[in-house]
Structure 1
Amino acid sequence: MSDLLERLRRRGWRLTAQRRVVAEVLDGDHVHYTADEVHAKATERLPEISRATVYNTLGELVSLGEVLEVSTDGRAKRYDPNAHHDHQHLVCSRCGTIRDVHLDSDPLAALPVPERFGFQVSEVSVTYRGICPNCHSHG
């Protein structure tokens, strides 16, 4: 489970009703919603929340480094609250479902030193692609 709400409280981020609802929607395991999905889920809890407020709140959370923006294959950006735990992604090539995966080894170790071409590598992003069980069962 993501600890987004707790992290925001520790930072002293002012949790208005709207911000709290957006953070609650994002809080959880394997959460990778689009902004429109966040808005739809937020309006279930707080019907008067505007799309602009949701977009602005997501932008603030990304700027704070508390939420990651994830883009895959030109699809809509998705928002990942698992910003403080090293992980990679597993993506369904059909429906776009994303799951967090935690590797047993450092992905940077898989890049041989000669293949780094002198770069000082600061970040590694690995994306696994395939077909999720739901898409696979529906042929």
Structure 2
Amino acid sequence: MTPVHDDDPRARLRAVGLRVTAPRVAVLEALADQPHATADDLATRVRQSLGSVSTQAVYDVLRACVTTGLVRRIEPAGSSARYETRAGDNHHHLVCRVCGRVADVECVVGPAPCLEPADVDGFTIDEAEVVFWGVCPDCQADRNTA
């Protein structure tokens, strides 16, 4: 799947063969402003820009965008699914154990044995998803002042 890097949501939708609709544009704009948002977060933001839009409509937009590769869905353990427009590359994520903040982290260049499975059982591997868990700087500062 080739990533689409155009910043214009309308052009991005057309590039993958999706109709340009107000909810689709609003979801992509909200994700550009708030990467790693949940569907509920996005529904709230979309309602602020469009007015009445159902949460189901937002889920439908997200499903279409994930299917076409415009949006990536990540599911950190114990957290709601989150969505981002940075799709098509093999970056990973940092997740704060305290506040749940998610941040992108670039892949390590060079050998990474933990990303090479010993037996792929006939699968063709096209992506590795690594989630690093820790405590973000803000939560560390809160812990140090408490």
Note whether the superposition's TM-score is higher than 0.5: yes
Q: Given the alignment, which residue of 77, 80, 85 partners 1:81?
A: 85
Stretches of structure 1 that go unaligned for 5 or more consecutive residues are none
Counterpart contact for 2:90–2:128, Cα < 8 Å: no
Stretches of structure 2 that go unaligned for 5 or more consecutive residues are none
Q: How far 1:7 sits from its partner (Å)?
A: 2.5
Identity, in percent, stands at: 34
- SS of match in other structure, 2:15: helix
Letter in 1 for 2:83: Y
| Residues 1:133 and 2:137 aligned together | yes
Letter in 2 for 1:21: A
| Residues 1:8 and 2:13 aligned together | yes
Q: TM-score, normalised by structure 2?
A: 0.79
- Give the aligned partner of residue 56 of structure 2: 52
| Residues 1:117 and 2:122 aligned together | no
CA distance in 2, matches of 1:47, 1:7: 23
Aligned residues: 134
CA distance in 1, matches of 2:134, 2:49: 34
Counterpart contact for 1:3–1:27, Cα < 8 Å: no
Over aligned residues, Cα RMSD in angstroms? 2.3
Ranges of 4+ aligned residues in structure 1 off by more than 3 Å: none
